Structure 1
Amino acid sequence: MLPSQLSSGDVIADRRADYAKMLAEGGEPASAGELMEQALELVPHWAAGWFTLATYREKAGDAPGAIAALNEVLALDAGDVFGARLKLAVLGAVAVPDRPPSLYVERLFDDYADRFETSLVGKLGYSVPGKLAALIAGTADISTHFQLAVDLGCGTGLFGPEIRGRVDRLEGFDLSKGMLAKAAEKGVYDHLGQADLSLEPLLSGVFDAGLAPGRADLITAADVLMYLGDLHGVMAITRMLAADNAVFAFSVEDAEHPEGYVLRHSLRFAHSEAYVREVLADHGFAVQDLARSIIRMDAGKPVHGILFITRKSA
Structure 2
Amino acid sequence: MHPTQFSSGDVIADRRADYARMLAENGEHEAAVELMEQALELVPDWPAGLLRLADYAEKAGLTAKAVPALRRLLDLDPEDLFGAQLKLALLGAEEVPDQPPSRYVEALFDDYAERFDTALVEKLDYSVPQKLARLIVEQADRDFGLAVDLGCGTGLFGAEIRDRVRRLEGFDLSANMLMKAEEKGHYDLLAKADLSLDPATSGLFEAELESGRADLVSAADVLMYLGDLANAFALAAMVAKPEALFAFSVEDAGEGDGFILAPSLRYAHTEQHVRQRLEENGFELVELTRTTIRMDGGKPVSGILFLASRMA
TM-score range relative to shorter protein:
over 0.9
Q: Secondary structure at the match of 2:153?
A: coil
Q: Secondary structure at the match of 1:207?
A: coil
Within 1, Cα distance between the matches of 2:74 and 2:285?
40
CA offsets 1:66-87 (integer angstroms, 9 cap, x no match) = 1111111111111111000001
Counterpart position of 1:2: 2
Counterpart position of 1:75: 75
CA offsets 1:97-147 (integer angstroms, 9 cap, x no match) = 0010000000000111111111111111111000000000001xx362111
Counterpart position of 2:122: 122
How far has the Cα of 1:5 moved from its partner? 6.8
Q: Which amino acid aligns with 2:205?
A: V
Q: Which amino acid aligns with 1:173?
A: F
Conservation of the 8 A alpha-carbon contact between 1:149 and 1:220: yes
How far has the Cα of 1:3 moved from its partner? 6.2
Counterpart position of 1:148: 146
Counterpart position of 1:186: 184
Conservation of the 8 A alpha-carbon contact between 1:223 and 1:252: yes
Within 1, Cα distance between the matches of 2:175 and 2:82?
18
How many residues end up aligned between the 2 structures? 311
Conservation of the 8 A alpha-carbon contact between 2:154 and 2:178: yes
Counterpart position of 2:287: 289
Segments ≥4 residues shifted beyond 2 Å = 1-5, 198-207
Within 2, Cα distance between the matches of 1:204 and 1:126?
33
Structure-2-length-normalised TM-score: 0.96
How far has the Cα of 1:4 moved from its partner? 8.4
How far has the Cα of 1:9 moved from its partner? 1.8
Q: Secondary structure at the match of 1:249?
A: strand
Conservation of the 8 A alpha-carbon contact between 1:295 and 1:303: yes
Within 1, Cα distance between the matches of 2:288 and 2:135?
8
Within 2, Cα distance between the matches of 1:292 and 1:197?
24
Counterpart position of 2:159: 161
How far has the Cα of 1:90 moved from its partner? 0.7
Counterpart position of 1:263: 261
Residues 287 and 201 of structure 1, relative CA distance in 2, 3 Å threshold: closer
For structure 1, the residue ranges without an aligned partner over 5 or more in a row are none
Counterpart position of 1:113: 113
Cα-Cα RMSD: 1.5
| 1:117-266 mapped onto 2 (5 Å cutoff) | 117-139=117-139, 142=140, 144-200=142-198, 204-209=203-208, 211-266=209-264
How far has the Cα of 1:258 moved from its partner? 2.6
How far has the Cα of 1:200 moved from its partner? 4.6
For structure 2, the residue ranges without an aligned partner over 5 or more in a row are none
How far has the Cα of 1:88 moved from its partner? 0.5
Within 2, Cα distance between the matches of 1:271 and 1:189?
29
Q: Secondary structure at the match of 1:35?
A: helix
